[in-house]
Amino acid sequence: MARGVKLARVEVIAAYPITPQTIIVEELSEICGRGELKARFIKVESEHSALACCMGASMAGARTFTASASQGLLLMHEMLHWSAGARTPIVMANVNRAIAPPWNLWSDQTDSLSQRDTSWIQLYCENNQEVIDTVIQAYRIAETVYLPVMVVLDAFILSHTSEVVDVPEQEDVDRYLPPFKAALTLDTNDPRAFGSISGPMEYQKLKMARHEDMMGAVEVARRADDEFGEVFGRKYGIAEPYRCEDAELILLTSGALGGTAKIAVDALRESGAAVGALRVRLFRPFPADEIAEAIGDAPKVAVIDRNLSVGAGGIFAQELKAALYDRERRPAVFGFTGGYGGGDFTPEVVEKIARRALEMGKPDSPTLWEAIP
């Protein structure tokens, strides 16, 4: 993540440390300290201030970065709305971590997913190669639609494991990512007030415009990924299907679980079960068309949510159901949830989930538990 931020030539970094994000900002502070990145690294007293700092810097025309997790992200909540409303194309890394109580440092996507209504674009990464690539793409997306982007990765599963990563060349990144230009510039000689009070007309117009621009971000994200592929030879898609052809069941996942699902699918296919996997990479905007297309005629989808909206169920399951409701082809959606707070969803657990879904005709409950003993 830190190397990607450096390659993106970020100019202002403001962050407050929190496990498991700390290693990212520590590394960045050292990169700045060694003078390898000409950025202003601002120590702040809280995450709320970190994002406020980034917002000011972004409005002043600087490419900005922050990172957080869990409680830190929740403390930012007000500024998440504000920074998106102010159309500041900030990029943030969020390392999914469980929300207290009880204190727990392991992965749980509920922290970022509970920010889904803040107008932030979210991209969920499967592995560390995707992390470094996605942060570069994120600036491209953010600075095209003028909405902030959250790059999301699982605590420890990605944040604290080592993988061999192909680090892009700086000159390629420079070619892919031109310098940031603020849409609205600040001029101290002609001061304007930003985000001041407005009437119903302006308020609604701005909100609608934000929604339309966000919906347009599906195309922007897809093209940003395609062009990334042209320059660097790697692309991910905004939703990634895996062996979905003629599938009776598709396992819908996100984040690092996507890789686990691929291994499980290989084993299931080996045993003769027609199971595919679909990993959602872009969340907000929810790429409904891509997902519906990937599901195709499959009669069943098992969503594996490493998150929980208490009282409603897994969040991807809800999103999927809402996205499919108006479509002609509506598969049965099995909403499995679990694997958070350190519960390890191994390929065996994913296979078990698939077999449960295959055995059930229809979901016997909107929320299906798959708890780890």
Partner 1 sequence: MMEHLYYDAAAMDLLRTTRNTLSNRTGSWRHMRPEFGLKAAACAAACPAGNPIARFMAAAAEGRIEEALRELKKENPLPGVCGRVCPRPCEAACNRAEFDEAVGTRAVERLLGDAGAAAGLCLPAALGKTGKRVAVVGSGPAGLSCAYHLALSGHDAAVFEAGSEPGGLLRFGIPAYRLPREVLDRELGFVGALGINMKTGCRVDAALAARLLDEFDAVVAATGALVSPGLGIEGEGLAGYHKGLEFLAAANAGAADGIGKTVIVVGGGNTAVDAARCALRLGAEDVTVMYRRGREDMPASDEEVAEAQEEGVKFEFNAAPARLTGEGGRLRGAVAIKMKPGEPDESGRRRPEPVAGSEEEWRADAVIEAAGGRVDNPFGRALEVDDWGATGNEKLFVCGDAAPGARTVASAIGGGKRAAIMADVFLRGLDTKEVKRKVLVGGNGAASAAAHREGEAAPGADGSVVRFKNVNTAYFSMAARAAKLERLSPEARVAGFDEVSAVCGSAAETARAEASRCFRCGECDDCGNCLVFCPDMSIIGKAAADGAAPGFDGDYCKGCGICARECPRGVIRMIEEER
Residues forming the site for partner 1 (CB under 8 A): 85-87, 144-147, 183-184, 188, 190-196, 198, 202, 205-206, 208-210, 212-213, 216-217, 219-220, 223-224, 227
Q: What is the largest CA-CA distance in the chain?
A: 71
Measured from the CB atom, is 6 or 87 closer to partner 1? 87
Q: Report the distance separating Cα 7 and Cα 133, nearest Å.
A: 10
Q: In what order do the strands lie in the sheet with 249-253?
A: 239-242, 275-280, 249-253, 300-305, 332-337, 368-369
Quote the least distance from Cβ 282 to partner 1, whole Å: 15
Least distance to partner 1 from the beta carbon of 7, Å?
Answer: 19
How long, in residues, is the chain?
373
Minimum CB separation from partner 1 for residue 194, in Å?
5
In angstroms, what is the minimal distance from the CB of 323 to partner 1?
A: 22
Q: Cβ closer to partner 1: 89 or 168?
A: 89
**Residue 147 C-beta: closest distance to partner 1, Å:** 8
d(CA 322, CA 312): 13
Q: What is the spatial distance between Cα 167 and Cα 132, in angstroms, rounded to a whole number?
A: 8
User: How far separated are the first and last CA of the chain, in Å rounded?
Assistant: 33
| Shortest Å, Cβ 198 to partner 1 | 7
CB of 1 or CB of 86, closer to partner 1? 86
Cβ proximity to partner 1, 60 vs 273, nearer residue? 60
Transcribe 282-304 into DSSP letters: EESS--HHHHHHHHTT-SEEEEE
Distance in angstroms (rounded) separating the CA atoms of residues 281 and 239: 5
Query: What is the crossing angle of helices 200-232 and 77-85, to 10°?
Result: 90
27 versus 227: smaller Cβ distance to partner 1? 227
Report the chain's C-alpha Rg in angstroms: 20
| DSSP helix/strand/coil, 43 | strand
Token digits for 220?
């922007």
The residue among 167 and 184 lying less far from partner 1, judged by its C-beta, is 184
Residue 80 or 147 having the CB closest to partner 1: 147
User: Nearer Cβ to partner 1, position 64 or 88?
Assistant: 88
Nearer to partner 1, 146 or 232 (CB): 146
Burial of 369 (0-12, 13-18, 19+ CB in 10 A): exposed
Q: How far apart are CA 307 and CA 334, in angstroms?
A: 15
Nearer to partner 1, 73 or 217 (CB): 217
* Cβ-based neighbour number of residue 167 at 10 Å: 12
Query: Smallest distance from the beta carbon of 53 to partner 1, in angstroms?
Result: 12
What minimum distance in Å lies between the beta carbon of 324 and partner 1? 27
Shortest CB 288 distance to partner 1, Å: 19
CA angle 192, 198, 203 (to 5 degrees): 120
Rounded Cα distance between 199 and 186, Å, is 23
Cβ at position 195, least distance to partner 1 in Å: 6
d(CA 4, CA 93): 11
